[in-house]
A and B are shown apart, each in its own frame.
Chain A
Amino acid sequence: MSEVPAELKYLSTHEWVLVEDDVATVGITDHAQELLGDLVYVELPETGTTVAAGDSVGVIESVKAASDTYAPISGDIIEVNSDLEDAPDRINVDPYGDGWMYKMSIEDAEELENLLDADAYSESIADED
């Protein structure tokens, strides 16, 4: 069973969001990394880019497949985890910690209401199986 920390918000497309003041940190879930298998390449958005909720902002590639990753909310990309460039497998090892992908500003806090809580996300992945 994959880990779904209670304090995070989620997208049904398997991104997690950690909200701290006016900054959101985004990564992909434990369930997503399990589905993808060993990751070998991560393409992250560029710092400074403005994105809208639902935009494709990067690509995560495992040995077997490539998968888009989507912005959970609207805002500006303020920092990316450049360590992933040489060590994409950090996402496999620690998806909620060292494997974070980027931090972004929160343009409209109301958009956070559209995200799933841990229970709802757990349910959505249980339906998948």
Chain B
Amino acid sequence: MSLARDRVGTWIGWAFFADLASGLALTFGYMFSRSVTMQYPDKEKWLPYSRYRGHHFLKRDEGGEIKCVACELCARICPCDCIEVIPYEDEKGNRRPAKFEIDMARCLFCGLCEDACPADAIALGQQYEFSSLASRDLVIGRDDLLGKPGKATTGGGVVTARLNTEQDVLVETSEPQGYNWWRNIRRT
């Protein structure tokens, strides 16, 4: 009985285009919902999480000296053979890298060098904007690697992007697990 009534109701609905109307109402509602677009690189950019594997960087110890002991384990474990380390002995008698080059054009950002490092000297940081017009510019030397930004501490936030001239960034966050952008979208 109720099934038959439902069927009649459905037919009446179809006759007056209830389904079309509900579809129109849905799209109309979405038209006034927040947009999920991130205006990169015009306005804002995504700050990666702390576990993000971006551009490599070399660390220094408390004395300001490079941590790397030039053991070449990273070069050995690298699956695409993109790290080249040449050791030397400094004035204190420690083994240090005279040359530490990473070919970013070949790197696949697996993070194995970070895992292999016994001195906790190399890690993959938060920087991801290092495109270049020439692949030889992507060979990064030791001193450049020392200056690269480290791991992200908060992560997941939205910060000012490179091409932003208006300095009007919508969202900034200190949440460790990041800013849940889905939260602000009207969903039905």
A associates with B: no
Binding site for A on B (CB under 8 A): none
Binding site for B on A (CB under 8 A): none
